[in-house]
Amino acid sequence: MKLTILISGIICSLILGFIFAGVFGAFFFAIILTLTIYLYKKKSKFRLSKLGIIGFFLSFFFLGYFLMYLFGLIGADKEITRKLELIKLELKSQGYEPNWIIISQKRLSFF
């Protein structure tokens, strides 16, 4: 039962995390994994403090965001990267300060 909780929590968190991507994806990733750990610990009669739950959530949030950032940039198209840099330079030349974080530069072939 405990192993089922862990496996299903990890799978659900990865799926929802990558579907929503960005900050929302990292939030869902962290919420689901934190609940998974909470339920796992509850079944094993080990209690987590509120500080422990917050620590798990923050750790999973940053881990989820890092994973989405890393996997979104692996295999990115060089032409897309170049175009994004040109857009950024043009915005700067017009007086704007582009403040964005690109988490994915890939598109699946059916989109």
14-43 pLDDT per residue, tens: 777 767 666 777 777 788 888 777 777 776
**Residues ≥6 apart with Cβ < 8 Å to 97:** 91
Does some domain include residue 106?
no
Confidence band of 111 (pLDDT split at 50, 70, 90)? very low
SS3 98: coil
Does the residue 56 lie in any domain? Answer: yes
Any domain includes 52: yes
Residue 54: inside a domain, yes or no?
Answer: yes
Q: Read off the tokens for 92.
A: 């700067």
End-to-end distance of the chain based on CA atoms, in angstroms? Answer: 39
Q: What is the pLDDT of residues 52-107, one digit of tens each?
A: 778 878 888 888 778 777 776 666 677 877 888 899 899 999 999 888 766 666 65
Other beta carbons within 10 Å of 69: 17
In a domain, 102, yes or no: no
d(CA 98, CA 84): 11
In a domain, 51, yes or no: yes
In a domain, 45, yes or no: yes
Length of the chain, please? 111
Number of domains observed in the structure of the chain: 1
Q: Is 82 among the domain residues?
A: no
pLDDT of 108: 56
42: domain range? 2-75
Cβ distance 80 to 57 under 8 Å? no
